[in-house]
Amino acid sequence: MAEAVQAERLQHAIDNRVVYQGESATECESCGGEIPEARRRAVPGCQMCVHCQGYMEGRR
C-alpha cells in the first residue's frame, strides 16, 4: 500500500512539474534577489531563485 501511495505522489509531481520557456528573469519575482546566470541558463524562463522556487513547490 505504501508503494502505491508513493507511486501516486511521484506521478502527481511529474504531472504538475513546471515547464520553463522563454527568457529568464535576472531578479527573483518573489524576493527580489539576483538569479545566478548558471540557473538562468540551466532553467530557461525561470522567474524565481532556487530558494523561493523550492519554497513554492513545498520543499521548505
pLDDT value at residue 60? 58
CA distance 36 to 27: 9
The answer as to whether 30 is a domain residue is: yes
- Its domain, for residue 40, covers 20-60
pLDDT value at residue 33? 97
CA distance 29 to 51: 12
Q: Which three cell numbers stand for residue 10?
A: 511521484
Distance of CA 41 to the CA centre of its chain: 14
pLDDT value at residue 20? 63
The answer as to whether 46 is a domain residue is: yes
Number of domains the chain contains: 1
The answer as to whether 41 is a domain residue is: yes
The answer as to whether 52 is a domain residue is: yes
Per residue in 2-60, pLDDT (tens digit) is 899 999 998 888 887 766 668 899 999 999 999 999 999 988 889 999 999 999 888 75
pLDDT value at residue 10? 87
The answer as to whether 3 is a domain residue is: no
pLDDT value at residue 58? 82
The answer as to whether 13 is a domain residue is: no
Q: Which three cell numbers stand for residue 31?
A: 524576493
pLDDT value at residue 19? 67
Query: Sign of torsion, CA 52 42 33 26?
Result: negative
* Helix, coil or strand: residue 50: helix
